[in-house]
Structure 1
């Protein structure tokens, strides 16, 4: 892994795919244990979480289903503080255990918004699984039930995370160097 450039920013290697996969396996094992017998519905938050959701879901051994929502809250390297729903949830989640699958929780605004929307649809339980968590950036009182990796408050790309829609295809995670 070498320094890379995406648009006007340089990024350096941060977390390699082996460490990512090990962390995902641990999260999946906890979910398999915690939610056995509940047939949870995993809700992947697009676009960023699709890579994590695919790898996580392949490690899930309990009966379960997956669906997708699409939200947007970033512009460039900053959270806008506003969450825009691009594609909502079509499934009935009444009395179902749902697991919201996110790529990263930083400010918490997106998860807070999603949980408020989901609560109105009467689920049995709402859990959150995130590949990455930035506790220093958190601005909302939310709980992340399953965290693969905690990171400091730095801007990252790769493994589904982007900078202006670029860099999602990187197999490893890179951190901004400028």
Structure 2
């Protein structure tokens, strides 16, 4: 698997260190607000980051998952199909949405709006990675692990054709793999 990686962009140690920092900030922010969030991971990419960051959130959180897919056709840009919905109602709840990467912003914007439509009191976003050069829809995460350049990255939940999610770091995929 290592032979497909051009270089390591973010090491496992850096991810753990930043997750501790983000967990502390998230805990402080929600304490100040006097609320406890339902932490919602977007499948499948967010799972490793969710597993790491939740260890560092010092609150009595609940977790849930959503699996969504987005269609980028000319007629349906931004449409989101829900493959797995939440197990409980979010009406009146504070939501912390966990994402692996903010890329174009299309799916994240739709999921955020969907949660508001379901009655969420507020929706904050924490993302391991932010790739602002690819943004098509204006949306920003409230908490960001790392801002990265516009390169094809895999590992720590991010995939190429469902592979490489289990790498313990964020690596740049060699172009020869996907070209």
Same fold (TM over 0.5): yes
SS of residue matched to 1:56: helix
Cα distance change of structure 1 residues 73 and 163 upon mapping to structure 2, 3 Å threshold:
farther
Cα distance change of structure 1 residues 144 and 172 upon mapping to structure 2, 3 Å threshold:
same
For structure 2, the residue ranges without an aligned partner over 5 or more in a row are: none
Distance 1:85 1:123 in 2: 17
Cα distance change of structure 1 residues 115 and 81 upon mapping to structure 2, 3 Å threshold:
closer
Runs of 4+ in 1 over 4 A off after TM superposition: none
Q: What is the aligned partner in structure 2 of residue 113 from structure 1?
A: 110
Q: TM-score, normalised on structure 2? A: 0.87
**Does residue 28 in structure 1 map to residue 27 in structure 2?**
no
Cα distance change of structure 1 residues 83 and 164 upon mapping to structure 2, 3 Å threshold:
farther
* Conserved 8 A contact 1:26-1:148: no
* Conserved 8 A contact 2:155-2:165: yes
How much does 1:11 deviate? 3.6
Q: TM-score, normalised on structure 1? A: 0.88
For structure 1, the residue ranges without an aligned partner over 5 or more in a row are: none
Residue among 159, 173, 178 paired with 1:176: 173
**Does residue 166 in structure 1 map to residue 169 in structure 2?**
no
Q: What is the aligned partner in structure 1 of residue 127 from structure 2?
A: 130
Distance 1:108 1:153 in 2: 14
How much does 1:71 deviate? 1.9
